[in-house]
Amino acid sequence: MLKGKTALVTGSTSGIGLGIAQALAQQGANIVLNGFGDIEGPKAAVAAHGVQVAYHGADMGKPAEIEDMLRAAAQQFGRVDILVNNAGIQHVSRIENFPTERWDAIIAINLSSAFHATRLALPAMQAANWGRIINVASVHGLVASAEKSAYVAAKHAVVGLTKVTALENATTGITCNAICPGWVLTPLVQKQVDARAASAKVSIEEAKRQLLSEKEPSMQFTTPEELGALAVFFCSAAGNNIRGVAWNMDGGWVAQ
């Protein structure tokens, strides 16, 4: 379905980004990976789908590095047809104790990076009159939780950016939508599970159960594979006129 297209997925060496990159590769898209940590494992996992894979190590908190990544992707593949703004970090703390450096980093990596990648990817999409921009927001783009001020502020703003991007391109073949996952058991959430297990002096399994029971009626984690399938749907012809939605996949979290 996506043969001949190129997808750039930010923060795709792990978790949800890697799941989405694999799902798009399974449909034939060439992939530009980005993120930190192990590179060779994720590259091999995506290449196993028989597509071309590139990697760029841009720090998504640094606009000049994002510019370099978009330039490199265009040089190698012609243009980016599908942009998935996924890179993100978390910090959990009450506002009065929130380190200002963490606030700045979360706003830069979780929000401003999406603006920069989008502004740089749009002109080539507009010239081709086709494009898909998928912003990985969160249920925290729709509702709040205590002790996540920067994250909740950034994710609500990403949902706003999604709507503006969709409107500005509404008469074109370019769509922009947000995906809003509930709990997904990735390294980002494992840290929160571990912290709860340590502070409540319970097992990891019990900490996971407690985390789910507070927010997620299904008592199930959403998986990167399920989120990858939603991204593929947005890229399909059925998604041609889906514009500016924030689609939660959250086990009933925001239905309450």
Catalytic residue, candidates 103, 151, 183, 253: 151
2 vs 8, beta carbon nearer ligand NAD:
8
| Residue (56 or 132) nearer to ligand NAD, CB | 56
Whole-number minimum distance, CB 35 to ligand NAD, in Å?
3
Nearer to ligand NAD, 44 or 127 (CB): 44
Which residues of this protein are in contact with ligand NAD, per CB under 6 A? Answer: 11-17, 34-37, 59-61, 86-89, 109-110, 136, 138, 181, 183-184, 186-189
Beta-bridge partner residues of 180: 248
* Angle in degrees, 0-180, between the axes of helices 113-128 and 63-77, rounded to the nearest 10: 30
151 is catalytic: yes
Q: 237 or 255, CB closer to ligand NAD?
A: 255
Read out DSSP for 102-171?
HHHHHIIIIIIHHHHHHHHHHHHHHHHT-EEEEEE--GGGTS--TTBHHHHHHHHHHHHHHHHHHHHTTT
CB of 156 to ligand NAD, least distance (A): 12
Q: How far is CA 165 from the centre of its chain?
A: 16
Burial of 90 (0-12, 13-18, 19+ CB in 10 A): middle
Burial class for 49, CB neighbours closer than 10 Å (0-12, 13-18, 19+): middle
In the numeric block, the tokens 């912003």 are attached to: 135
Residues with a catalytic annotation lie at: 151
